[in-house]
Amino acid sequence: MIGACPHPGAVRSIVPSLELSLVSVTTSRHFRCALLLVGATSPLLASRVPAQAAVSGVVTIAERPGVRTSDLNDVVIWLEPLDAAGRPGGAATVPIVMSERRYTPKVRLVSVGSTVEFPNQDPFRHNVFSKAGPTEFDLGLYDRGEVRRVRVAAPGVYPIFCNIHARMVAFVVAAPTAWSAQAEASGRFAIPGVPAGRYRLRTWHNRGGEQTREVEVPAEGLSNVSIALDARTYRFVQHRNKFGKPYPPDGPDRY
Ligand SMILES: [Cu+2]
């Protein structure tokens, strides 16, 4: 099962987490993975690393009457240390695929400095752009089979649109630290390998908004963090195209 841990981030926390895992953590799936991996792969363990543990819990979103939340896995949670320097996660190259006039996945959590690539799998052109994030970009029009990329060098949330298709929407969330997670469909989340200390816990969701609170992470971690977002006042607003104009009702979206 080596390498099969389905929990991103578990591997990087293997060594620092062992000391703590042995004595106190029994609930985190990340740690179970980490322990398996340690037992199989790591004969040498550092003895003076600070304790690190998981911060986990569940997110809920309050909805208007009759609405059932179906996008909890679009929630992104991350931690920013208050008393120490943050440590960015490893930059990676990850895809958001364009197919059937849709971006998949709709929300992509990356570490700041990562590259997001946009393969076009539709038999017509798309124009990926972002104007409302920390930095702007415009990948231009390109056809099926082509892939264009952008590096997200600044932390924050980048709304991604297409200049041709008004309903194509995605979000890239570039987390400033290594301690981040995207929730599961159930709302559960787990951030592994968090050093003990005080943090700003930040949560983002497209409809539920942003929430910030301070948390104290003890050496044994936090396992019952409850985050309640509220989408009851959310109203969909059609964004504008890259020229700041409304999309033509019968315009280029003719496919
Ligand atoms: Cu498009």
- Of the candidates 133, 154, 174, which is a domain's last residue? 174
Asked if the structure places residue 206 within a domain, the reply is yes
With 0.85 as the threshold, say if the pTM is over it: no
Express each pLDDT in 58-74 by its tens digit.
999 999 999 999 999 99
Same-domain check for residues 79 and 182: yes
Asked if the structure places residue 220 within a domain, the reply is yes
Q: What is the CATH number of the domain that holds 22?
A: 2.60.40.1120
Distance 222 CA to ligand 1 centre (A): 42
Asked if the structure places residue 204 within a domain, the reply is yes
Same-domain check for residues 46 and 22: yes
User: DSSP 3-state assignment of 88?
Assistant: coil
Distance 83 CA to ligand 1 centre (A): 44
Asked if the structure places residue 6 within a domain, the reply is no
Same-domain check for residues 216 and 157: no
Distance 48 CA to ligand 1 centre (A): 52
Express each pLDDT in 101-160 by its tens digit.
999 999 999 999 999 999 999 999 999 999 999 999 999 999 999 999 999 999 999 999
pLDDT band at 49 (very low <50, low <70, confident <90, very high): low
User: DSSP 3-state assignment of 31?
Assistant: helix
What angle (nearest 5°) sits at the alpha carbon of residue 104, between those of residues 176 and 187? 60
Mean predicted confidence (pLDDT) in 227-237? 96
Which two tokens mark 124? 């017509």
pLDDT band at 31 (very low <50, low <70, confident <90, very high): very low
HSE-CB for 13 with a 13 A CA cutoff: 33
Same-domain check for residues 148 and 103: yes
What is the spatial distance between Cα 165 and Cα 248, in angstroms, rounded to a whole number? 10
Neighbouring residues of the ion ligand 1, judged by CB less than 5 Å: 126, 162, 164-165, 168
Listed in sequence order, the DSSP H helices in the chain are: 14-23, 29-41
pLDDT surpasses 70 at 6: no
Number of domains in the chain: 2
Q: What is the CATH number of the domain that holds 150?
A: 2.60.40.420
Average pLDDT, the chain: 84
Asked if the structure places residue 235 within a domain, the reply is no
Closest-CA residue to 111 (of 130, 94, 136, 132): 94
When mean pLDDT is compared across 2-6, 141-145, 171-175, the lowest value belongs to 2-6
For 153, the domain range is 93-174
